[in-house]
Structure formats: C-alpha cells, structure tokens
Structure 1
Amino acid sequence: SKRLISSFHQSYQQNDKTNCLKTTRFIIHLIHQNVLLDTLPIEILVYLLKNPSDDSVELAIEVIKECGQKISEFCPRMLDSFFSKLRNLLHESSLHERTRNMIEALFAIRMNQFKADRLIPSDLDLVDEQRSQRIGLIDPCDPESMLDIFQYDEQYDENENKYKQIRKTILGESTGDEDESSSSSSNSDGEEEKQDDRVES
C-alpha cells in the first residue's frame, strides 16, 4: 500500500497519466477490499481537484465512478461537493471538450446511483475478516525500494512451506496429505471394483 501511494505521487508529479491511472485503479480495488481506509478516495479527489487540469479531472472522474457509491454511503456531503466542483468546471472553457463530455457522462452515472458495477466482483469477494491499513495520501510513505532487489533466502524451503500453510488457511484449501490420501483411496476403490468385475465374469 505504501508503495502504491508513493507510486501515485511520483507518476502524478511526472505527468505520467497512464501509470497514475493504473495506480489509482489499484488503490481503488484495495479500498473496496477494505485494505485501505474509506476516506482515502476523498483525499485523492481533494488532491486532484485542487488545481484541476484535463488529466487530473479525468483521474477524479475515474475515482468517482469506482468509489462514488461507497462515498455516498458514509459521506454524501463530500460527494455533493465534488459534483458541484465538476459542475463549475463543466462550464469552463479551459477544459477540453472530451473532458467535459466525461463529466456529463459521470452525472448520468450518478443519476443511476452508480449501479453499473458491483463494488467487489463476486469472484474476488473471498476474505471475510478484514483490517484496513491506516495510511493517508499525505502520510510519509517509505517506498521500500530494497524490496526491488533480489535477496537470497537461505531458508527458502522452510519459508515456502510456511507460506503454503498460510495460503491453505486463508483459501480453505486441503492439505497435500489429504489430497494424496483421497487419491490413493479412490485408486484402491477402483482396483477393488475391477477385481469384483473379474470374479463375477
């Protein structure tokens, strides 16, 4: 999460719209999964609309499209404030026509109460117990660049087994021993059935 927020700031300051949009969408997914706080999209929108440009408004529209329903549930006044800001921008000639069309489309989405998509797709709604990380947009974030450097793990096998156990606990997967025992039992049952068929014949 820290790396994502750091990447958001970096790509935004470098006017890297493509990476900034990808990072923003990733952050939004984490918000929907309650990994990040619900207040983070509000911080992002305030940041993007402080000095609006075509790119920042487009990013803000993407955030509202994806998080508008969530914001409307716990802070509807802030959502009204953002739409009021966009309404004023809609009549400013400084914005490109494409951006103004996107704003108009966003108002239509709001009239439909953001019902186009689920907040969390059913195939991603896997975790019941969730804890949000208390990280704000302006909080100092260490990008942890050392994680980009490969480090040899002398206890790789041991750590890999620990990871597999944690994964099985989270996803409810059966252990390898259970799989082997079930497969061996099914094989033995199949062999017994074949022997019975031979005796009957």
Structure 2
Amino acid sequence: MSLIQTEQEVLVNTRAGGVYIPPSRLKLLQQKVTDKASSELILQTSKISFFELINENLIRGRGLFARSIMKAQAASPPFTPVYAALVAIINTKLPQIGELVLTRLIVQFRKAYRRNDKTTCLATTIFIAHLVNHLVAHEIVALQILVLLLESPTSDSVEVAVGFIRECGAHLAEVSPKANNDVFDRFRAILHEANVEKRVQYMIEVLFQVRKDKYKDNPPIATDLDLVKEDDQITHHLSLDDELDVEETLEVAKKLEIRDQTNTNLINLRRTIYLTIKSSVDFEECCHKLMKLNIQEGQERTYEKFFGLIGERLAKINLVWAKSFEQCFVQYYETIHRYETNRLRNISKFFGHLLATDALSWQVFNIIKLTEDETTSSSRIFVKILFEELSGTLGLQKLKERLKDGTMHENFVGLFPKDNPRNTRFAINYFTSIGLECAEIAYSAETCSRK
C-alpha cells in the first residue's frame, strides 16, 4: 500500500523533478497508476468493509444492506465480482440475506426489462451472473433470463444477453452444457438472420471467439475472490417466474425488542418476590406489594397455604390471573408424573385452596379421567391430596352438595365415570381407599353411577 501511495503522489500530484509533462501524457500516467493500483486497493478496501459489516446487525439491517450493495454495484459495474464475492461469503452464514439480494435483483430485472431500461438490465444481469458463478443462485435463473432476452431479439436485448453470458458462460458450459449449446445456437440463428445492428452482430462474433478461447479472460470466479468452498455455499432455487417478495418494509425503522437470554432478569425477579414475601406481615400486605411490582405475564411462581391465599386474592382481583391458574392446573396435571412427592403435594394443596374458595373454576375437573388406564400413581396422589384439601376447607357436607349439583354434573363425568362398570368400581374403590373423610364422596360417586 505504501509503494502504491508513493507512486501515486509522485505521478499524480507532482511533475517529476520539475520536468514539464504534457497534459495528455500526464492523464495517461494517472490512468496507468490508477489501473495498476485499483485491484489491490479494492481488495484492501473490501477487507476493511467486510470486517465493519460483520460487526453490525446484518439480520436486522438486511434490507439496507441489499439496497446499498445493489446501488454500489450499479454505480461501479467493474467491481461486480467483488460485491458478488461479499454476498457469497455472507450467504454461507446468513442465507436469508443472499436470498433477499437475489430476489430484489430478479424483480429489478423484470421491471427494467418491461421498461426497456438497458442500463439497469446490464448492471442487474451482470450481478446475477456472478451470483450464479458463486452458486448463490441456481443456473436455472440464468437460463431463463437468456431465453427471455433471445426469444424476441432486439439490438438492446441481444447486447444484454451477450454481456450476461460472457460473465457466466464458463459456469453454464460446465454445469449445463446442453442448455448452453442451445443458447449459442440461438445466437448463431440471430447472427444469420441479420435483424440486428452491425454493432451487435460484431458483439456476437466476438462472443463466439470468447467461447472458442474457453473464456480465458472471463473466468467464473477470480482466484483472489474464490473464498468460499463449494460444499459450504447455499444455493437459492429462485425462478424468474416466481412470485417474489422484496420485503420493502425491512427499510422501515422498527423498535427492536431485546430479549434477555441469560435469565438475569428472571433471577432478579425471583429475588424481589422472595424479599417481598418475607418482609410482609400477612398475605393481604404481600398481595398488595406484589401487585405494585407490575410483573409481566409468565413470570409468577406459587407455593404453600400462604401462597394459596395470595393466589386466591390475585385470581379474584383480575380474571387474567384466574385464566392463567386454570391453564397451569391443566399443564401441571398432564405433567404431574415429573414432580417429586413433596412438590406434588404443594401443587395439589395450592389448587385445592383455589377451588375451595371459588377462585378457580371447577371446570378444570374436565381434565381428570379417573380410570385405571388413564391415571398414574402420581396423578392419583394428586387427586387424593386435592380432595383432602377440598374436604378440609369446605367440609364434607358442602363438598357433597357441590358434587351433587346438577349444573356442574358435566365437570365430573371423568371424575365419576359411568361408561362401564369396571371404571365405576375403580372410582368407588379409589375414593373409599383414600380415607374415611372421603367416604361420603365415594357414596356420591356410587349414586351418580346408579343414576
């Protein structure tokens, strides 16, 4: 870099040793130095730009990235191989970005083709050609573009097609030789028909010579830009006829929701709840303090009788809490076998208190199917402790009245099954075996089955 900069300063900014240099010669010298240094300069600049890019949130800014790189490529078509190599590198790690760039290029080409915008077509097709060379795009889109351009040939469309196939012809000849031969047969037919300008006919003749020389001046990927292994590349099978979404809303600034994946906020929340509970005199004060915390949904935990009183108060204050407790009841019952006996007992007592105080709807009993086949030892212990808590809080007489309530009969279909005698006997024996205090509940089950 230092040698290049020194030579540029000598020839561009000075006139060697005070010797007069004609303007025409000075211009040639400047151009020569620029051409000599351009490849190395652009390589160094690309490295710097790439390291700056990977430090940014490319997923969130993929719309801006796609727009910027397409704009830069259109302004400097000679540097298209560099831009394509950059997209190819990013595509290996973030394929959604490579797909977005390719999608927008295809849509841009379709619009430019309909508007007869030759300049945009040339820039876009060159970019697509290099993405095909880097295996970011499948060769089918390249062949579709060539068929479209040569189907109804005009001087402009043939010129675009010639420039396009010069960039990706070597790759097409390797991966799809038959289709490539068909394309050149079409070029030969256009040349013989002589319906295009002489300038374009000469371009076709030069193209055949380039093909004969095996694209020695137009390699698919330059050696310095061959940075991605073929096995690592992700190819997008997009077609020219697909309905493509360019995701224009990606350029619109939106508020980014930051999620804590380290559980720091959860640990702090648990500490706050613990200190709040321990510093409260009674459950009413504790409930009042917890409501002041503005806890978000999905962050609450419960425990013991004291917590049952808190849960009761929360469920009666806001229906959202009641619905959440109902969902928790279903989830805990379905996964109750995962908990040890001590935790199972605490969970069952908590929900028993909520049911006894009508803080929780008795419709949750629909989830319980008290049969030998549909229960486990853990679920039977859960139901036993649940009814012990209900009978202890409500009393046997009131619990019996609840179980005989005709309006709630549908909620106890699974609890007191009567579909066949085997399940009915199992339910009666179960309630009889869990203790004397549940004898009348067993009687209610027997009465229900006889009806």
TM-score when scaled to structure 1? 0.72
Q: Matched residue of 2:250: which SS? A: helix
Aligned residue pairs: how many? 156
1:57 positional shift: 0.6
Contact 2:170 2:219 in 1 (8 A): no
**Structure 1 residue 145 and structure 2 residue 245: aligned?**
no
Q: Matched residue of 2:193: which SS? A: coil
Indicate the residue corresponding to 2:220 in structure 1: 119
What code does the residue aligned with 1:131 have?
A: I
What code does the residue aligned with 2:157 have?
A: S
Q: Matched residue of 1:39: which SS? A: helix
**Following the alignment from structure 1 to structure 2, what is the Cα–Cα distance between the partners of residues 145 and 132?**
23
**Following the alignment from structure 2 to structure 1, what is the Cα–Cα distance between the partners of residues 179 and 228?**
29
Where in structure 2 are the equivalents of 1:38-187 lying within 5 Å? 38-128=139-229, 129-151=232-254, 153=256
Unaligned runs of 5+ in 2: 1-101, 259-451
Give the number of the structure with larger relative contact order, counting CA–CA contacts within 8 Å between residues 6 or more apart: 1
1:154 positional shift: 6.4
**Following the alignment from structure 1 to structure 2, what is the Cα–Cα distance between the partners of residues 126 and 75?**
23
What code does the residue aligned with 2:137 have?
A: L
**Following the alignment from structure 1 to structure 2, what is the Cα–Cα distance between the partners of residues 95 and 148?**
42
Q: CA RMSD in A?
A: 1.8
The structure with the larger Rg is: 2
Unaligned runs of 5+ in 1: 156-201
**Following the alignment from structure 2 to structure 1, what is the Cα–Cα distance between the partners of residues 116 and 215?**
29
Indicate the residue corresponding to 2:103 in structure 1: 2
Indicate the residue corresponding to 1:188 in structure 2: none
Indicate the residue corresponding to 2:119 in structure 1: 18
1:101–1:152 distance in 2 versus 1, CA, 3 Å:
farther
**Following the alignment from structure 2 to structure 1, what is the Cα–Cα distance between the partners of residues 119 and 131?**
19
Indicate the larger mover: 137-146 or 119-128.
119-128
> Kindly, what percent of the aligned residue pairs are identical?
39
Q: Matched residue of 1:73: which SS? A: helix
What code does the residue aligned with 2:251 have?
A: D
1:109 positional shift: 0.6
The Cα offsets for residues 105-151 of structure 1, whole Å up to 9 and x where unpaired, read as 00111111112132112332222210101111111111222233344
What code does the residue aligned with 1:130 have?
A: Q
What code does the residue aligned with 2:181 have?
A: D
Indicate the residue corresponding to 2:7 in structure 1: none
TM-score when scaled to structure 2? 0.33
Contact 2:194 2:201 in 1 (8 A): no
What code does the residue aligned with 1:148 have?
A: E
1:55 positional shift: 1.1
